[in-house]
Amino acid sequence: MAGDEMDIEQRVFEMLGERKHTPEIAVELGITPEEALPIVLKVIDERGTPNLAAARRAIDHLATIRVV
């Protein structure tokens, strides 16, 4: 069961990267938006979103640039 939960959370993470909202995520998962919301919030709390992760990497990269 834990593997299924991780697969669902990974898929939610991917859908967040596709800029899908909770109702769209719920439809794809075959559940109600009320059931999807806690999963979406858990993923955002634990992992952020793909776009947020990319922004953090870009900021870290900019911090390493030195101007001479």
- In this predicted model, what pLDDT tens digit does every residue of 12-66 receive, in sequence order? 999 999 999 999 999 999 999 999 999 999 999 998 888 888 888 999 999 898 8
The Cα 48–Cα 68 span in angstroms is: 35
The first and second tokens of residue 64, run together, are 């390493």
Q: What is the pLDDT of residue 60?
A: 93
d(CA 46, CA 59): 20
Take residue 31 and report the two structure tokens written for it. 């559940």
Q: What is the pTM of this model?
A: 0.74
The region that residue 44 occupies, defined by phi over 0 for left and psi between -120 and 50 for alpha, beta otherwise, is alpha
Contact 9, 42 (CB under 8 A): yes
